[in-house]
Amino acid sequence: MIAMSTRHILLGLLASGPSHGYDLKRRHDERFPQARPLAYGQVYTTLQRLVRDGLAEVDGTDSDGGPERTMYRATGEGTHELSRWAAEIAPPAPFVTNEIFAKVVVSILSGGDPAAYLSAQRAAHMERMRELTAVKAAKGADLATVLSADYALNHLDADLRWMSTTAARLTTLTAEVDAV
Amino acid sequence: MSRPVPLLSASGLTKAHGRTPALRGASVELHEGEILAVTGASGSGKSTLLHCLAGIVRPDEGSVTYDGQRLTDLPEKRLSELRRTEFGVVFQFGQLIPELTALDNVALPLLLAGTDRAGARARAGEWLERFGVRGQQDLRPGELSGGQAQRTALARALVTGPKVVFADEPTGALDSLSGEQVMTALVHTARESGTSVLLITHDAQVAAYADREVQLRDGAVTPLGVTA
């Protein structure tokens, strides 16, 4: 999966108005519940870079009864950059090797048991798919949660379909790899 | 701790269609309140297994036990009664009766069980409401969308309060969003009522709604995570 651009995600969250780092982190984790939570350090570093590049600027401070926090807002240039990025086509992954594929080939090369590996991997994928399905089918699940679970489910399902086909092809595949 | 007795179990089922074997010693257990997915490639024997478990066809060998009764030993009349009162079945194409409205399709199992017409129609309406198709209750199956027809078929399968619902590729003819609505309706209802569900599917995303999965391969159940 292509890594998400944290700077553009933060610009996107700033689109609804000025905000401080703590709030941006909280909103990010809510909007992308299946993604890895943002570290505070990463949020502040990214905000400083956005300011350095003229895409965001400091908009005073806010204490709201607690510690004083620096507020940020997107600049016109930042808003323009966000629009450009959001419309940009993400290139399909140029290389399709991944760990599962590599393990199957290595297992064949080394005289291992790729069928056993595929079967166990399939069970692990299904377990994760059950967890994600329970999250998205829960009553009251919000749209961000459903979309995020859908995205992960469809990718896991693609892996699963590849694993099923590979399991069915294993006899032929083994003969081909052995012949090289 | 000993494992609870399954509500429904099959042991060593074999079944051939003519000379073609469909099941070769299949064994499976379904527990009370459990949602079990049976997956496998086309021709692996999934639907034949469902038909044997639901008492629709008799296996050539092996036994099916439901709630302490060996279905394979029961006379047809008793089997028929069990299917009507304890089991609900949903197929890929809902198999609603085309001449009846959605409401009358759902009311039919209640009428067959002896409920009066007004009572049957009232309860059928409640189930259609629950599955979001009350507004289409006077339409005939041909006038319903695929998703509406399948949710009507679900309502028909559940209206008698069965202990087990057998669902054979219930989303197989639907687009992904309609399929999701059908599965969500089925799973929520089953969870609330404690109904067991045996779900036949070739689709991993549908199987992921279940608590557990067993795979059929060449007419026998393959333990997951273990090489066949």
- Same domain flag for B168 and B129: no
Q: Do A153 and B183 touch (CB under 8 A)?
A: no
Q: Do B224 and A130 touch (CB under 8 A)?
A: no
User: Which range, of A89-98, B22-31, B185-194, averages the lowest pLDDT?
Assistant: A89-98
Strand partners, A82: none
The nearest CA of chain B is from the CA of A138 a distance in Å of 9
pLDDT (0 to 100) of residue B228? 33
In a domain, B152, yes or no: no
How would you classify residue B38: left for phi > 0, otherwise alpha for psi between -120 and 50, otherwise beta?
A: beta
In a domain, B156, yes or no: no
- Same domain flag for A110 and A174: yes
d(CA B143, CA B136): 9
- Same domain flag for A83 and A11: yes
As given in the structure block, the two tokens for residue B153 are 């078929």
In a domain, B228, yes or no: no
- Same domain flag for B106 and B214: no
- Same domain flag for A105 and A175: yes
d(CA B128, CA B110): 14
- Same domain flag for A122 and A73: no
- Same domain flag for B172 and B62: yes
Over residues A109-139, the pLDDT tens digits come to 777 888 888 988 999 999 999 999 999 999 8
Contacts of A137 in chain B (CB under 8 A): 183-184, 187-188, 209
Residue B1: pLDDT above 70? no
Residue A2: pLDDT above 50? no
pLDDT band at B2 (very low <50, low <70, confident <90, very high): low
- Same domain flag for B81 and B13: yes
Count: domains in chain A? 2
- The answer to whether B210 contacts chain A (CB < 8 Å) is yes
- Same domain flag for A72 and A117: no
Residues B136-150 have a mean pLDDT of 93
pLDDT band at B174 (very low <50, low <70, confident <90, very high): confident
* Closest C-alpha to B191, from A131, A139, A126, A147: A139
Contacts of B207 in chain A (CB under 8 A): 126, 129
CATH of the domain at B25: 3.40.50.300
d(CA B31, CA A100): 34
In a domain, B151, yes or no: no
- Same domain flag for A36 and A73: yes
Q: Domain boundary at A49, A67, A87, which?
A: A87
- Same domain flag for B40 and B139: no
Residue A1: pLDDT above 50? no
- Same domain flag for B109 and B67: no
pTM to 2 decimal places? 0.81
Residue B227: pLDDT above 60? no
- Same domain flag for B77 and B106: no
- The answer to whether B209 contacts chain A (CB < 8 Å) is yes
- Same domain flag for A107 and A171: yes
- Same domain flag for B32 and B58: yes
pLDDT (0 to 100) of residue A97? 64
- Same domain flag for B76 and B187: yes
pLDDT (0 to 100) of residue B208? 96
Over residues B78-116, the pLDDT tens digits come to 999 898 889 999 988 768 999 999 999 999 999 998 999
The nearest CA of chain B is from the CA of A112 a distance in Å of 13
Count: domains in chain B? 2
In a domain, B74, yes or no: yes
**Interface predicted TM-score of the whole assembly (ipTM), two decimals:** 0.82
- Same domain flag for A39 and A72: yes
A20, A62 Cβ separation under 8 angstroms: yes
d(CA A84, CA A137): 34
Within 10 A of B228 (CB to CB), how many other CB atoms are there?
A: 12
Residue-number span of the structural domain to which A142 is assigned: 99-179
Strand partners, A61: A70
Over residues A91-107, the pLDDT tens digits come to 776 666 678 888 888 88
- Same domain flag for B80 and B176: yes
d(CA B127, CA B102): 11
**Cα→Cα distances A115→A35, A174, B42, B219, B226, Å:** 31, 11, 20, 19, 9
d(CA B73, CA A6): 65
Residue B25: pLDDT above 60? yes
- Same domain flag for A45 and A10: yes
Nearest chain A alpha carbon to B40 = A164
- Same domain flag for B81 and B169: yes
In a domain, B2, yes or no: no
Across the interface, of A119, A126, A154, the residue whose CB is closest to B213 is A126
Across the interface, of A119, A129, A168, the residue whose CB is closest to B225 is A119
A130, B205 Cβ separation under 8 angstroms: no
Across the interface, of B41, B204, B227, the residue whose CB is closest to A119 is B227
Nearest chain B alpha carbon to A129 = B208
In a domain, A60, yes or no: yes
B170, B199 Cβ separation under 8 angstroms: yes
* Closest C-alpha to A56, from A38, A25, A79: A79
Residue-number span of the structural domain to which B34 is assigned: 8-86+162-222
Q: Exposed (0-12), middle (13-18) or buried (19+): which is B30, by Cβ within 10 Å?
A: buried
**In this structure, are strands B87-90 and B35-39 parallel, antiparallel, or unpaired?**
unpaired
Q: Do A161 and B213 touch (CB under 8 A)?
A: no
Hey, what amino acid is at A132? L
The nearest CA of chain B is from the CA of A166 a distance in Å of 13
Contacts of B187 in chain A (CB under 8 A): 137
B96, B149 Cβ separation under 8 angstroms: yes
In a domain, A1, yes or no: no
Strand partners, B216: B221
- Same domain flag for A119 and A144: yes
pLDDT (0 to 100) of residue A180? 62
- Same domain flag for A10 and A83: yes
Angle at CA of residue A40, ends A39 and A43, nearest 5°: 90
Q: Exposed (0-12), middle (13-18) or buried (19+): which is A72, by Cβ within 10 Å?
A: buried
Across the interface, of B204, B225, B226, the residue whose CB is closest to A160 is B204
Over residues A4-33, the pLDDT tens digits come to 688 999 999 999 899 999 999 999 888 887
pLDDT (0 to 100) of residue A95? 65
CATH of the domain at A79: 1.10.10.10
Q: Domain boundary at A87, A109, A127, which?
A: A87
pLDDT (0 to 100) of residue A130? 95
pLDDT (0 to 100) of residue A164? 87
In a domain, B117, yes or no: yes
The nearest CA of chain B is from the CA of A155 a distance in Å of 11
Over residues A48-99, the pLDDT tens digits come to 999 999 999 998 888 777 778 899 999 999 999 988 888 888 777 666 667 8
- Same domain flag for A106 and A164: yes
In a domain, B30, yes or no: yes
Residue A166: pLDDT above 80? yes
